Amino acid sequence: MGQALTSVNKGKILIVDDEAINIHILSNTLTEIYDIFAVTSGKEAIEFCLRTPPDLVLMDMDMPGVDGLAACRALKEFGETRDIPVMFITVHVDSSAEDRCWDAGGVDFLVKPVNTNTLKHRIKSHLALKQVTDELRKMAYQDGLTQVSNRRYFNEYLARQSKLKQRSGLPLGLMMFDIDFFKSFNDLYGHLAGDDCLRLVAKALSASVVRPGDFVARFGGEEFAIVLPDTDIEGVILVAQRVQAQIKALALNHEGSPFGRISGSIGIAVSDAKNPEQAKLIERADKHLYQAKATGRNKFVF
Ligand code: GH3
Ligand code: MG
Ligand code: MG
Ligand code: MG
């Protein structure tokens, strides 16, 4: 398991090595500058990174069980860990070993015993690069107004989840949420108030989902999407009820609405063994959203 060796809060570095002496040497060198954690196997490294992603991994190559190359390849497979830079530190000096490290997705390769000055400079440079990458990724995937994910990320997330669920046969829930009479809200209270409303609605939606894989995105305009992995129709309905309660609790006046306050309509679709057509998921949720609108709004249809 990960073990904090110090708590200086700069970058967070995970050392992966099966030999205690190597961990000791590296952590002694870096402990003044960084938050150092250490594990002794590839398997633990993957678990650690999925749970609490570090900013950089210093990876040994040879370890019993899941070795450094396999661990690195696994990290590059998961969206959550893909961007963590992996620097290999190994006793292998031959170029075929080096090739395999780069091919596995490593960003750097150092031979033991490492020159600690070189190590420090390379780490600094990788961490700076990582920071820029993180900021760019955030900009590329986040909606600037509401801070929830944007449509681009929604598309990627849904595609990834669809593939996983098709393999596992577990259900995948999708909810489309659209604010009722939002055009008249803007007309009555102004676009800035409209923007504030969108931010509050996004927050209310985020507060309605609780599981780690649950996911809220702004689909466009005043429409949001919620993806609920491993959730059957009963579960999605429960979340829809929670969404309605959260939106109601906002208690935002809307004189232009027959409900007197901001409300939303919801279309629900679930893909499961009975209804496996993943491609139609958005289409079906959209159709149900349309039905919710057409039959009075402020309700959900599934
Ligand atoms: P319905 O109940 O049928 O959903 O009606 P509606 O008025 O909500 O739907 P409509 O599609 O006619 O209008 C959507 C409005 O959302 C129009 C647009 O001005 C507003 N809108 C979209 N994006 C933004 C935004 O970023 N900020 C603000 N303030 N308004 C936005
Ligand atoms: Mg080793
Ligand atoms: Mg609307
Ligand atoms: Mg709309």
Summarize pLDDT for 31-85 with one digit per residue, the tens. 999 999 999 999 999 999 999 999 999 999 999 999 999 999 999 998 789 999 9
Rounded to the nearest angstrom, the distance between the alpha carbon of 222 and the centre of ligand 1 is 5
| 66 and 94 together in one domain | yes
Q: Closest-lying ligand to the alpha carbon of 194?
A: 1
Number of domains in the chain: 2
Please say if the pLDDT value at position 1 is more than 70: no
ipTM rounded to 2 decimals: 0.95
Rounded to the nearest angstrom, the distance between the alpha carbon of 179 and the centre of ligand 3 is 4
Residue identified by tokens 């496996």 is 276
Please say if the pLDDT value at position 4 is more than 50: no
Residue 121 lies inside a defined structural domain of this protein: yes
Alpha helices in the chain (DSSP H): 20-30, 42-51, 68-77, 95-103, 116-141, 151-168, 182-189, 191-208, 233-250, 281-294
| 129 and 160 together in one domain | no
Query: Atom 26 of ligand 1 has which residue's CA nearest to it?
Result: 221
The range of the structural domain enclosing residue 204 comes to 151-301
| 279 and 169 together in one domain | yes
- Residue 5 pLDDT class (50, 70, 90 cuts): very low
Bridge partner list, 173: 228, 270
Dump the DSSP string for 42-94.
Answer: HHHHHHHHHHS--SEEEE-S--SSS-HHHHHHHHHHSTTTTTS-EEEEES--S
- Residue 6 pLDDT class (50, 70, 90 cuts): very low
Condensed to tens digits (0 to 9), the pLDDT of residues 227-272 reads 999 999 999 999 999 999 999 999 999 999 999 999 999 999 999 7
Cβ < 5 A residues, ion ligand 4 = 178, 223
Q: Which of 141, 162, 179 is the last residue of a domain?
A: 141
Rounded to the nearest angstrom, the distance between the alpha carbon of 230 and the centre of ligand 4 is 27
Query: Atom 30 of ligand 1 has which residue's CA nearest to it?
Result: 194
| 134 and 250 together in one domain | no
pTM for this model (two decimals)? 0.77
Residue 34 lies inside a defined structural domain of this protein: yes
Q: Which of 84, 119, 141 is the last residue of a domain?
A: 141
* Rounded-to-integer distance, Cα 117 and Cα 239, Å: 53
| 190 and 281 together in one domain | yes
Q: Which of 141, 164, 190 is the last residue of a domain?
A: 141
Residue 5 lies inside a defined structural domain of this protein: no
Residue % of the chain over a pLDDT of 70: 95
Residue 119 lies inside a defined structural domain of this protein: yes
Residue 258 lies inside a defined structural domain of this protein: yes
